Amino acid sequence: MIKRVYGYLMLHKGPVPEATRTLHERGFVAIRGALDAQTVAELRTDVERVFDEDPADQRLSTRDAEGTASFRYAMLNRSAAAQQALANPRILEVIDPLLGDDCHVIANTAWRNAAGKPGSHGGDNWHIDAGPHVPRASGVKWPAEIPYPTFAIASHILLRDLELADGPTGFIPGSQRSGRIPPFDALKDPELSWEGEQCVPVLGAAGDVVLFISDIWHRRMPTLAADAGRLFLQVHYARRDIAQRLYETSESNQLSAEAIARAQTPRERTLVGLHDPMFYDG
């Protein structure tokens, strides 16, 4: 647990919510009833408005039209209700001890998966959201006396009840400490495990919030015949040191036109901060 003191990160030794400890140890936790029914209804209406009014962003060339249509990015810029939701105190009290109380939003995406369509965006493969932030070779254990650091946390703010048939997100407990990515030869393996822990799908009701550490192995579970689709607001929170990714760097950067023109090679472009879309960018 950490906190910011005079600009420095220091160990936080005070009490923290039990949900914070669960999130740190297992890599995920559900906060039940974080949003009341009226707040959920208002947020759902506004999210649906954005989907209906704004065209989809084509950020990743590898994503087909169906997958692209499932997302709307930078929601806090499009919806006051979304901006209010991501500041929910029940979320912040859980994540601040892990990221620092000056953590910020680096991405904010609405998801609307149509009923009966599992999607083609790749989220149904085992993956991590970025990193791993502390990569390690197979078999190299993390020292038990050092708390495992957390760099980014995702939240799924559920705007519709989520049942097993709808393809909820499944997590492998503790895998955020593996320092590794899921094995490429098991990207859809329902029996994939880490240190004896197997997948736990997390269901929920509208108004629940599912939090998970970005390094945890997770995936959308297969949909079943009664799939009703999914609708949720995703928020990625990160330490202050990690850059925001609400827009692509070609659209949002700190460069002059002259500096951009001078960056000719791919490495020159990444060096000055012009990156292709990747994790958190879509």
Same domain for 271 and 154, yes or no, is: no
Residue 11 lies in a domain: no
Same domain for 256 and 134, yes or no, is: no
Per-residue pLDDT of 157-176, as tens digits, reads 999 999 999 999 999 999 99
Residue 150 lies in a domain: yes
Same domain for 61 and 133, yes or no, is: yes
pLDDT of residue 201: 97
Same domain for 199 and 73, yes or no, is: yes
Question: Containing H/E element for 107?
Answer: strand 104-113
CA 118 to each of CA 28, 177, 191: distance values in angstroms, whole numbers, following the listed order? 22, 29, 19
Task: For residues 63-86, give the mean pLDDT.
Answer: 90
Residue located via tokens 């079943």: 224
CA 158 to each of CA 45, 50, 96, 162: distance values in angstroms, whole numbers, following the listed order? 13, 16, 21, 8
Same domain for 260 and 171, yes or no, is: no
Check pLDDT > 70 for residue 121. no
Same domain for 242 and 254, yes or no, is: no
Residues constituting the chain: 282
CA 206 remoteness from chain centre = 18
Residue 97 lies in a domain: yes
Domain span including residue 25: 18-246
Same domain for 198 and 165, yes or no, is: yes
CA 234 to each of CA 27, 159, 185: distance values in angstroms, whole numbers, following the listed order? 17, 11, 28
Residue 206 lies in a domain: yes
**What gap in Å lies between CA 241 and CA 195, rounded to an integer?**
31
Task: For residues 142-147, give the mean pLDDT.
Answer: 91
pLDDT of residue 76: 97
> 172-189 as b/e, with b when 16 or more CB fall inside 10 Å?
bbbbbbbbbebeeeeeee
CA 255 to each of CA 111, 241, 249, 271: distance values in angstroms, whole numbers, following the listed order? 31, 19, 10, 12
Residue 8 lies in a domain: no
pLDDT of residue 61: 58
Q: For residue 151, which phi and psi values (nearest 5 degrees)?
A: -110, -30
pLDDT of residue 97: 96
Same domain for 266 and 193, yes or no, is: no
Same domain for 225 and 261, yes or no, is: no
Check pLDDT > 70 for residue 273. yes
Per-residue pLDDT of 203-245, as tens digits, reads 999 999 999 999 999 999 999 999 999 999 999 999 999 999 9
pLDDT of residue 119: 61
Check pLDDT > 90 for residue 47. yes
Domains of the chain: total: 2
Average pLDDT, the chain: 93
Sign (positive or negative) of CA dihedral 97, 98, 103, 104 = negative
Q: Pick 68 or 261 by higher pLDDT.
A: 261
Residue 6 lies in a domain: no
Residue 4 lies in a domain: no
Same domain for 135 and 272, yes or no, is: no
Check pLDDT > 90 for residue 199. yes
pLDDT of residue 54: 93
